[in-house]
Amino acid sequence: MGYEFGRLSLIFFYVYFGYLNVRTFREWGVPFFIRLLFAWLVGALAVAIAVNVAHLSSHLPSFRKPTLSYLLGWLTLDVCIGFSYDIWLHEHLVGHHQYTNIITIDPNIPESHEEDIFRCSPNQAWYKRYAYQFLWVPMMAFMVLVDYRLATHRYWVKGLRRNIRINYEFLNTRAKILFFSAKLLWFIRVIILPIFFWECPVWEALVMLIMSEIAAGYFVGINLPINHTTDKVDWPLIKKDEKTGGTYIDQEWAVEQVRTCKDYAHESWFFNNLFGGLNNHATHHLLPALHHSYYIEVYPIVKQCARDWNIEIPDVATYYEVIYDFVHNLWNLSADPPKMMHF
């Protein structure tokens, strides 16, 4: 219970620290550059509640009643951060967890085998504009949040997330009311209240918001892709069955989950709680409804089972190694395939 209270208290600190930064600290005369650094902390807290509260709620390990998990997810992703919990449920549970690292379907990787924003898989075609992606992709990681906010609106119009139709319950009247009311509440909190009620200068309120968004973007844009778009992970393909005319994935599901996830610092209490268990990613994909507080104990069982079946887990020992592998993968795939570079 104490752990759950600490996790949920992140919501309070995220909202309260934002209030302190645009009103209280300003009235106390705290220097602007100090408050600018504090805005980065607010952005980091936004990601902390996303991975420790909203993500966990989407897998239902905290409450017996799904309604409570849904309300908590809506409060964190929609009201606090301005995203869409409904779209998250669709793309994360229906898309990412079922079709991990499958290009054209998994919403968390590039959309096409042909030309795309960047190249992270050897299954993608190579183009000259990928030549320096190992430099600009990490630098532009903060744009992930901006793109996601815009994408949540596109999903309403298209009714699709990649090639997966969005279920009716995510597009009905109730969902639309929750979606747009949360957008309004978010806008009131980050724009209307600071400027019109707390008398924060417009330029200052916008700068603080942008800095917190950039910080959150970097945390998301770097720390989420490192589990999948990195060296030594598999990229399953959708193939056609010549006999039946249907399609199938060229890898058994459990093997796919182990081989498409890269773990790091799997025994670290710090990373397990900072990133909501994403450092034990294979365990999370195999047992998504298990609370991440148990991942450290379960990981050795997963590893031994994989060893018994001669399945290699592409894990590394430290966080720094997985960051290196993420950038190294971008480096390798930035080169013309016949002239692959290595460092």
Do residues 234 and 227 make contact, with C-beta atoms less than 8 angstroms apart? Answer: no
Check if the beta carbon of residue 204 is closer than 8 Å to that of residue 185: no
Over the stretch 200-259, which tens digit does the pLDDT of each residue have? 899 999 999 999 988 888 888 888 889 999 999 999 988 888 888 788 888 889 999 999
Closest CA to 225 of 251, 261, 255, 253: 261
| Continuous H helices in 29-105 | 32-49, 55-58, 66-73, 85-88
The reported pTM is: 0.88
* Alpha carbons 267 and 176: distance in angstroms, whole number: 41
What pLDDT, on the 0 to 100 scale, is given for residue 6?
A: 65
**In the predicted model, is pLDDT for residue 286 greater than 90?**
yes
Token readout for 101 is 């690292």
* N-term to C-term CA, the chain: 47
Which are the contacts of 112, defined by CB distance < 8 A and separation ≥ 6?
103, 104, 124
**Boundaries of every domain in the chain:** 2-227, 238-336
